[in-house]
Amino acid sequence: MSDASAQSPAPVTPTPPEPASVPGAFTRFLWFCAGADGNLLARCPTSDWVKYQGIGGIVLATTVLAFVSAAYAFYTVFSPKTQTALEATIHLGTAAASTLAGLLWALVIFNIDRFIVSSTGKGDGSERITITEFFQSMPRLLMAGIIGVCISAPLEIRILKPEIDAQLELEQNEYLVELNRHAEGLIQARRDELQKKVDKAQAYLAERTDYFEKRRLEINTQRRQLELEAEGKTTNGIAGRGPAWRDKKETLDKMEGELGRDQETHNQKATVYSADISGWTKELGLLAQDLARAKQSNLQQSRHLDGLMKRIHISHEIGGFVPWAILLLLLAVETGPIFFKMMLVTSTYDYLLENAKRLATAKAGIEVDAQLLLTETNEEIHIDRFHQVESRVAEEKRRAESEAKLAEAVHERFRDAAGKEIREGDGYKKYVTEE
């Protein structure tokens, strides 16, 4: 026996694993950005650390770009439009509000990106992206693409800002010239209209003045003829106020009466025309001020030609391939983590994560795919077992059965006692009411 024991191999003591390096705070933050479990990753090889550091770094970079994009877009939209594009200075109040808006938007994008990346599985565990994996990731890719487009537009106009400002100021000046030309045309048309009214009214008054002057001359001539008739200095040579004189006198009275009535009517019209001429003349004098106010308004309107959409339009006009390159870059950055997740090979972290999930499931008394049923069409149906639930159901079922049995026993004892009372003498009166 001593020989046998001497020949038996000595027990092998397992070599303790080398202590892994401790991840730093920034590394854990990148893991958080990638939606990974830092406690599990800390137990994994360095290669897993690097993978999720890279994914988290992309998410973090997208968040920073989203902040810059949103802040600049907010400032472009809400900044005061009091200067031209090249003269514009930074408005501190709007800049502070834009910074806050950018932070809020960056947090939203960070949350969405983190959800997209964390919800994207490892696919089939190989580096090859299959058609099935691609189509399963289409909703996430679509959402990431939309985010990339929204982020890229403000970034491209910020990158091309000097060129956009130069082109924008040129268009602002051209727009101002066009607005002023239009305003001058309207003012000139109004001036011509008013001057035409004034000239027409003055011409009418002058014409009526000449008309009444001619009628007064005619009346004076008729009055002179009447005097000559009375003096006998007419063609008949007979002095006195005879039939001829009376005819001339009647004609004169008629002419004077018509002149008086016409003059009264004209005076009323002349008063109205004079008031109109005064108002029109006053308005003509104010047209210069109206033109100055219109030009000031046009200046402000031309400076408001500095919105986000206008800058994006100019950037696509003068930027050539640059806006598209920025868009493609942002799309690559935004969708990259999704493709990287599908290209990751099953690693230690994946096994540890799956193990942690199963342990949590087992602690809850859940047995996944505990039963497999086959339908008539040979379709497999997997049925999970929830043992804690089943145990609670069984407990409640036993409690209900026990209560039912106890109730039955109580009722049985009651029936026996009541029957005995009814059989003995007048005991039935306790249970029977007589009316």
Q: Which residues, other chains included, contact 281 with Cβ-Cβ below 8 Å and sequence gap of 6+?
A: 198
User: Is there a single domain that holds both residue 246 and residue 271?
Assistant: yes
Question: Taken in order 118, 120, 125, 128, is the CA torsion positive or negative?
Answer: negative
Q: What is the pLDDT of residue 230?
A: 67
Say yes or no: 148 and 224 in one domain. Answer: no
| Region 407-420 average pLDDT | 85
Mean pLDDT check: name the lowest of 127-131, 192-196, 292-296: 127-131
pLDDT at 149: 86
* Continuous segment of H or E residues that includes residue 368: strand 366-374
**pLDDT tens for each residue of 392-412:** 888 889 999 999 999 989 988
At residue 284, the pLDDT reads 84
Q: Does 353 lie in the same domain as 272?
A: no
Same structural domain, 347 and 259: no
Instruction: Say if 5 falls within a structural domain.
Output: no
DSSP three-state, residue 371: strand
In a domain, 13, yes or no: no
pLDDT-above-70 percentage for the chain: 84
Do both 25 and 118 map to the same domain? yes
Number of domains comprising the chain: 3
pLDDT confidence tier of residue 14, bands split at 50, 70 and 90: very low
Predicted confidence (pLDDT) at residue 4 exceeds the cutoff of 60: no
Say which residues have a Cβ less than 8 Å from residue 336's Cβ, sequence separation at least 6: 58
Let me know whether 192 and 297 are in one domain: yes
Whether residue 400 lies inside any domain: the answer is: yes
Distance in angstroms (rounded) separating the CA atoms of residues 172 and 298: 10
Decide if 230 contacts 240 (C-beta within 8 A): yes
Phi, psi values for residue 285, rounded to 5°: -70, -25
Please give the mean pLDDT across all residues of the chain.
Answer: 80
Beta bridge partners of 374: 380
The model's confidence at residue 426, banded by pLDDT at 50, 70 and 90, is: low
Rounded to an integer, the average pLDDT of 174-189 is 89
- Is the pLDDT assigned to residue 140 strictly greater than 80? yes
Within its chain, how far is the Cα of 335 from the centroid?
24
- For residues 119 and 54, membership in a common domain is answered with yes
Identify which of 142, 165, 148, 93 has the alpha carbon closest to the alpha carbon of residue 327. 148
Do 77 and 203 lie in one domain? The reply is no
In a domain, 236, yes or no: yes
pLDDT at 335: 85
The answer to whether residue 284 sits within a structural domain is yes
pLDDT tens string 260-318 = 788 888 788 888 888 888 888 888 888 888 888 888 888 888 888 888 888 888 888 88
| Cross-strand bridge partners of residue 366 | 386
Cβ 223 vs Cβ 217: under 8 Å: no
* pLDDT for the residue numbered 16: 42
Residue 352 and residue 382 in one domain: no
Structure confidence by residue, pLDDT tens digits, 45-93: 888 888 889 889 989 999 999 999 999 889 888 887 767 767 777 778 8
Q: Is the pLDDT of residue 100 over 90?
A: yes
**Predicted pLDDT at 429:** 65
pLDDT attached to residue 60: 92
Residue 327 pLDDT exceeds 70: yes
Contact between 384 and 368 under an 8 Å Cβ cutoff? The reply is yes
Q: Identify whether 185 is part of a domain.
A: yes
Residues 59 and 116 in one domain: yes
Cα–Cα nearest to 255, from 219, 213, 209, 210: 219
Residue 282 lies in a domain: yes
- Looking at the structure, do residues 41 and 140 belong to the same domain, yes or no? yes
Residue 312 within any structural domain of the chain:
no
What pLDDT, in 10s, does the model give residues 339-386?
887 777 778 888 888 888 888 888 888 877 776 666 666 677 777 778
Q: Verify that 402 and 422 share a domain, yes or no.
A: yes
Q: How would residue 26 be classed by pLDDT, with cut points 50, 70 and 90?
A: very high
If one compares 1 and 393, the residue with the highest pLDDT of the two is 393
Angle at alpha carbon of residue 242, lines to 240 and 244, rounded to 5°: 115
Look up the pTM and report it.
Answer: 0.63
Structural domain for 138, as ranges = 18-160+320-363
